[in-house]
Amino acid sequence: MITLPGLIDTHVHLREPGATHKEDFETGTSAAVAGGYTTVLDMPNNPEPTITPGALQRKINLATKRIYSDVGFHFGATINSSQYFQQIKDKVFGLKVYMNHTTGTLLQEDPKILQIIFEKWPKDKVLMVHAEGETLQKAIDLARKNNNKLHVCHVSLASEIRLIQQAKVQGLSISCEVTAHHLFLTKNDAKRLGVFGMMRPPLENPDVLWKAIADRTIDMIASDHAPHTKEEKLGPNPPNGVPGLETTLPLLLTAAYEGKLTIEDIIRLCHTNPAKIFNIPVQKDTFVEIDPTIRYTLYARRLYTKCKWTPFQGKRVKGKVKRVVLRGQTIFKDGEIIGNPRGKVISPL
């Protein structure tokens, strides 16, 4: 048996309110726990985005008593939402700025508005960007000018890695995450998977990302758990995004078995660094028991996520979550969620 601390995923889309046909607080946090995560941070790009104190409070109310893992929230950036930054800053973990097209309505492209957003967000709190390729340069320039604590979501390109390495050398406060799908799937998989391998940013060459894990340019692994239904994926306007909460850890354990990283790396990338960067509260008596010897196959029908599909269908993995203990109580054992929802809505330290 291997014992891990409760893992932390700083980038998930639990979809409630507004898209509970894709996921909700119960199914999404069940998936989190089954995947070894005891803390997840939820993104603001709902149909009613988290861009007002009222929308944030509604999420908090909806989540209370229905979550199996702890859940914290991110706030969405718009010109209008910037008036609330001071009011909500202690309740959220980060501000999310969408600088490229993706799911939702939060795209910000106007340089004047972006400048105001970066200027107004508190400098000691994380400002997260969806900024692909060339756009990342803009985000870094804005963060340099305004002294922000920048976090780059789902890096996928060699050019992005280079920009982040440069910024780190120059002493900027910058961190970044990579997803399991960008690490374990290739452009060939994208062809094979069709719409079920479609996400933003698209699949690229994983080799550069593995190198960036090895040289510690990458600070954390996040799932970007972005469930959509099969019907939506097969419909006329397939949305971008794939689920990931229940497949990330088994894939990482398999990579550890194959010598691509160590268990210590997994703890640093999925617990210690996210906790430090996002000021996540410590969970007492909380851990995840792994049986590293169990080989099994990832199957969608065994998943708790409401969307019931995975781009990793049929993949052989080694290493399984046996038990999850949250604040001294077993909440997951041998594939089953145990007891009532014991997760809490959390705010940063």
**Is residue 224 involved in binding Zn ion (CB under 5 A)?**
yes
226 binds ligand NCD per the rule CB under 6 A: yes
130 sits near Zn ion (criterion: CB under 5 A)? yes
Identify the residue among 163, 199, 218, 269 touching ligand NCD (CB under 6 A): 199
Which CB sits closer to ligand NCD, 59 or 200?
Answer: 200
Query: How does DSSP assign 58-71, residue by residue?
Result: HHHHHHTTT-SSEE
Interacting span for Zn ion (CB under 5 A) from 5-13, 34-42, 82-90, 249-257? 5-13
Under rule CB under 6 A, how many of the chain's residues touch ligand NCD?
11
Tell me how far apart the alpha carbons of residues 72 and 185 are, in angstroms, rounded to a whole number. Answer: 28
* Binding pattern for the stretch 100-119 against Zn ion, x by CB under 5 A and - elsewhere: --x-----------------
- Pick the binder of ligand NCD from 52, 103, 173, 286 (CB under 6 A): 103
In the complex with ligand NCD, the residue whose CB is nearer, 59 or 130, is 130
Q: Does 252 bind ligand NCD (CB under 6 A)?
A: no
Of 50, 102, 146, 273, the one binding ligand NCD (CB under 6 A) is: 102
Burial (CB count <10 Å: 0-12, 13-18, 19+), residue 86: exposed
Binder of residue 343, out of Zn ion, ligand NCD, none (CB less than 5 to 8 A by kind):
none
Choose the stretch contacting Zn ion; rule: CB under 5 A; options: 14-22, 30-38, 68-76, 220-228.
220-228
Quick one: which segment of 77-85, 94-102, 255-263, 296-304 binds Zn ion (CB under 5 A)?
94-102
CA distances from 56 to 45, 63, 75, 230 (A): 12, 11, 8, 29
Among 5, 13, 68, 306, binds ligand NCD (CB under 6 A): 13
Residue 199 interacts with, from ligand NCD, Zn ion, none (CB under 5-8 Å by kind): ligand NCD
**Phi and psi for 129 in degrees, rounded to 5?**
-125, 140
Tell me: does residue 45 bind ligand NCD (CB under 6 A).
yes
What are the DSSP calls for 165-211, one per residue? HHHHHTT--EEEEE-HHHHH--HHHHHHHGGGG--SSPP--HHHHHH
Which residue, 30 or 102, is less far from Zn ion as judged by CB? 102
Assess 240 for contact with ligand NCD (CB under 6 A). yes
For residue 235, what are its two tokens?
Answer: 């419909």
Q: What is the DSSP letter of 90?
A: T
Helix (H) or strand (E) holding 26: helix 25-34
Amino acid at 37: Y
| Under rule CB under 6 A, residue 224 binds ligand NCD | yes
3-class DSSP state of 334: coil
What's the Cα-to-Cα distance from 234 to each of 143, 239, 309, rounded to whole Å? 39, 9, 12
Sheet holding 287-297, edge to edge: 2-5, 287-297, 316-326, 329-333, 336-337
Task: Name the residue number minimizing CB distance to ligand NCD.
Answer: 241
182 binds ligand NCD (CB under 6 A): no
130 binds ligand NCD (CB under 6 A): yes
Contact, 323 vs 49, CB < 8 A? no
**Angstrom distance (rounded) from CA 4 to CA 9:** 14
* Contact residues: Zn ion, CB under 5 A: 5, 102, 130, 224
- What are the residues binding ligand NCD (CB under 6 A)? 13, 45, 102-103, 130, 199-200, 224, 226, 240-241
